[in-house]
Amino acid sequence: MKFDTAENLLKFLTDNIKTSYKERYSGKPELSPPSRTGKGIRRLKFRTPYRADLHDSILELLKFKRVRYTTSLKSSEQSNLEVIDIETSESKVRILIKPKSGREWRQQSYWNQALENLDNWRQLKGFPDTEIEFSVLTKINRKIEELGNMKSVRLRIKSKIYDNIIGFIPGPSGAKADFIGINSKGKSVIFISHKNGRTAKDFQQYSGLSSRAGGSIYDHPEVQSFREDIAKKESNDFINQAYYRDIKDHQLKQKAIFGKDYGFGIKNENNISLFAQGEPILTRTSPGNVTLSFNSKIVESTQLSQLERAGYNPTLGARRGEVYRTVEYRTDKVTGVRAGIFSKEYIEGRNSEPI
């Protein structure tokens, strides 16, 4: 699919990315004017409180419509997310996903002095995608600074103690870790996936089922079988109806919750340490020693059983989604459907039935 002008591309995107779907973007996208020579890059800016979600939606739409594009990291233009470049007949258009305008919190810092004083702070520094993540990071970093009297702390989370912790930063876009704990040497040593809310129904999913979820999930036999059965259905089958299937393999559940690289090796942004939900609570137990917990749930990566009850059990599910979302298996494909690994309470609460 090819576009003659940047304006044609803009219309295509706004016609297909609906604002009614979780407020994917806010207001009217901003398209820079063409240069006098007609050459150069025209920048198309979307503003949203859901930057990563909108980025994924645009990429899925472009793939579905077979639009040629390239992606690359341009930190001078956009933090955490790759820019998307599309060639039209008249110019190159660069799609940028910016924070929703008017969000004063974006003008503030979530970090503390110890983080800012690191030699590698410029390389570590990123920005959270949502105000909720900003609020959590800000609270944790300020309390570490306060409770540690401006020094690093020994931080206990559940059964583990981490030495010389000075604060937390946001995880990279697309990674399982939302928050990464940093020690006084600037090393990443704690990896946390965070969900908002207080119950299993308050967040959408643990993981997707597309190739972006990683081969360990996408190629798993249970996922392949579920995708096969869902892809045979018609889009109309998902009007006011969702489908789910219990997961048998504990390792698949672990990878959905704790990352596609889950295992017993070194922890990283896709082999995380902890799953957390709710507001952070930090308490000083003695000079230099601080405990971090969350008011809804905090689960270590070795404690899957704590998420296999009370509605949190990871469950394969498929529900109605945006028109360009697809579930494919070999030659079968159903459009307008979103599939993932959800909490059991979330997917069963959507007028669903087992498949």
Q: List strand residue ranges (DSSP E) for the chain, in order.
A: 30-31, 41-48, 70-72, 83-87, 92-99, 153-157, 160-170, 179-183, 188-195, 207-208, 242-246, 274-277, 280-286, 289-294, 297-300, 314-320, 326-329, 332-335, 337-343, 352-354
Report the distance separating Cα 106 and Cα 135, nearest Å.
Answer: 11
- CB contact at 8 A, 316 and 226: yes
What contacts 328, CB < 8 A, 6 or more positions away? 227, 231
| Rg of the chain (C-alpha set) | 22
**Closest CA relative to residue 258, chosen from 194, 201, 204:** 194
Report the distance separating Cα 279 and Cα 293, nearest Å.
Answer: 8
- Say yes or no to pLDDT of 28 above 60: yes
Helix 51-64, helix 6-16: angle, nearest 10 = 110
The helix/strand/coil state of 326 is strand
- Say yes or no to pLDDT of 53 above 80: no
Report the distance separating Cα 289 and Cα 133, nearest Å.
Answer: 24
Q: What is the CATH number of domain 6-99?
A: 3.30.460
Q: 185: which 2 tokens?
A: 């040497």
Report the distance separating Cα 212 and Cα 52, nearest Å.
Answer: 13
Tens of pLDDT, residue by residue over 100-130, are: 755 555 557 899 999 999 999 999 988 887 8
DSSP-assigned states of every residue in 250-296: HHHHHHHHH-TT-SSS--BTTB-SEEEES-EEEEEEETTEEEEEESS
CA dihedral (226, 229, 234, 238) in degrees, to 10, reads -40
Q: How confident is the model at residue 141 (pLDDT cuts 50, 70, 90)?
A: very high
CA dihedral (243, 258, 54, 223) in degrees, to 10, reads -30
Report the distance separating Cα 61 and Cα 68, nearest Å.
Answer: 11
Give the per-residue pLDDT at 160: 97
Tens of pLDDT, residue by residue over 172-205, are: 988 999 999 999 999 999 999 999 999 999 998 9
Domain coordinates of the chain in residue numbers?
6-99, 105-197+262-307, 207-254+312-354
Report the distance separating Cα 248 and Cα 300, nearest Å.
Answer: 20
- Say yes or no to pLDDT of 20 above 50: no
202: left (phi > 0), else alpha (psi -120 to 50), else beta?
alpha
pTM: 0.78
What one-character DSSP code corresponds to residue 237? Answer: G
Better-predicted residue by pLDDT, 27 or 350: 350
Tens of pLDDT, residue by residue over 270-319, are: 999 999 999 999 999 999 999 999 999 999 999 999 999 879 999 999 99
What contacts 221, CB < 8 A, 6 or more positions away? none
Q: Which range, of 16-30, 46-60, 121-135, averages the lowest pLDDT?
A: 16-30
